[in-house]
Amino acid sequence: MEEKNQHIILKTKNLSIGYKSKKAGTVIASNINIELKKGELIGLVGANGIGKSTLLRTLTNVQNGLSGEILINNQLLSDYTSEELAKTMSLVLTEPIASKNLSVFELVALGRHPYTNWVGNLSSKDIEKVNQALNLTNIDLLKNKKCFELSDGQLQKVLIARALAQDTDLIILDEPTTHLDMYHKAYILKLLQKLVKETNKTILFSSHEIDLAIQLCDKMIVMNENEVVTDSPCNLISNGTFEKLFPKDLIVFDNKSGSFRVKK
């Protein structure tokens, strides 16, 4: 890793995630040690139900971890006020936005919420940031369209632009490629890679597009049954981490092409 990239944005120490109930806690994954640096694109992969969403929910302070620490910019996540956190971390969620009657500009401008005054008026700096976000995601032309007029792919770009407008060091996306066709899946992930390069932000996304993630990510977090491994895609392939990802009865990982193949 180069020297300039050494600044650590997000770090977990022996983090355990899961659900607490009155009787007993359910541990979903434990001993998670992740280090995300500035200007990295990180893909989080794992089988359905392995706890990707739980991990993201824990990292974004939606739910509490069971034990261990989460540090963002060297400060405990639990010490952040919601406003500070909103200026440090922005999200793209899987849930649809509540009102599709917002225009693209309005939706992206809502990303400026933590910076605007009590009634939400945009300053010239806010408008500049919004236009910059629209520009980076190539959606300037959609600016005045309503969200219900957009395709799924366009909407995803708009939501990414909203997160960019929030002007945070870290952007976390929960399955940004669901509902998209093959081209747009590649397009969105390629866009994320471009954004990391141009803005030097750290972007973490969960996805089922393992082969695309292998090609585009600087680092991947692989959630297996027994462990959570973080490394560069190359090392993960040579260590055979992907082979443990799924049950072996149907598909196998092909090291040469870096993708899964159906067993014959």
Partner 1 sequence: MPKTETYTFSFIALIFILIICFLVNISLGSVSIPIQAVFKSFLGTLDHESWPYIIQDYRLPKALTAILVGSGLGISGLLMQTLFRNPLAGPFVLGISSGASLGVALVILGSGIFGGVFATLLISKWAIVIAASLGSFLVLLAVLVVSSRVRDTMAILIIGLMFGSITAAVVSVLSYFSSAEQLQQYIFWGFGSLGNLAWSELLIFSIIYCLGIFLSIISIKGLNTLLLGENYAKSLGLNIKQSRFIIIIATSLLAGTITAFAGPIAFIGLAIPHITRQVFNTSNHKILLPAVFLFGAIIMLICDSIAQLPTSDYFLPINATTSLIGAPIVIWLLVRKRKMIF
- The residue among 24 and 98 lying less far from partner 1, judged by its C-beta, is 98
In single-letter form, the type of residue at position 204 comes to L
The reply to whether 152 sits near partner 1 by the rule CB under 8 A is no
Our CA angle for 253, 257, 258, nearest 5°, is: 55
Q: How many C-alpha atoms does 105 have within 13 Å on its Cβ side?
A: 11
The binding track of 204-243 with respect to partner 1, each residue x by CB under 8 A or -, is ----------------------------------------
Contact range with partner 1 by CB under 8 A, out of 24-32, 65-73, 81-89, 202-210: 81-89
Distance CA 21, CA 162 (A): 35
Nearer to partner 1, 89 or 228 (CB): 89
- Cα separation of 40 and 196, whole Å? 6
Q: Give the nearest distance from C-beta 63 to partner 1 in angstroms.
A: 12
Q: Is 166 in the site for partner 1 (CB under 8 A)?
A: yes
Contacts (Cβ under 8 Å, ≥6 apart) of 67: 14, 15, 16, 30
Q: d(Cα 102, Cα 148) in Å, to the nearest integer?
A: 8
Q: In the bound complex, what is the minimum distance in angstroms from residue 114's beta carbon to partner 1?
A: 5
Which of 47, 71, 93, 186 binds partner 1 (CB under 8 A)? It is 93
Looking at 46-54, 89-97, 177-185, 237-245, which segment touches partner 1 (CB under 8 A)?
89-97
Choose, by CB under 8 A, the member of 89, 161, 210, 214 that binds partner 1. 89
Q: According to the binding rule CB under 8 A, does residue 109 interact with partner 1?
A: yes
**What whole-number distance in Å separates Cα of residue 203 and Cα of residue 76?**
19
Judged by CB under 8 A, the stretch of 12-20, 92-100, 206-214, 252-260 that binds partner 1 is 92-100
Q: Which strand (E) or helix (H) includes residue 252?
A: strand 251-254
Helix axes 152-165, 124-136, angle to 10 degrees: 140
In one-letter notation, the amino acid at residue 257 is S
- Binding residue for partner 1, selected from 53, 60, 206, 207, defined by CB under 8 A: 60
Among 3, 6, 49, 98, indicate the residue that binds partner 1 (CB under 8 A). 98
How far apart, in whole angstroms, are the C-alpha atoms of residue 87 and residue 168?
A: 5
Residues that bind partner 1 (CB under 8 A): 60, 62, 82-83, 85-87, 89-91, 93, 95-99, 101-103, 105-107, 109-111, 113-114, 116, 118-120, 122, 166
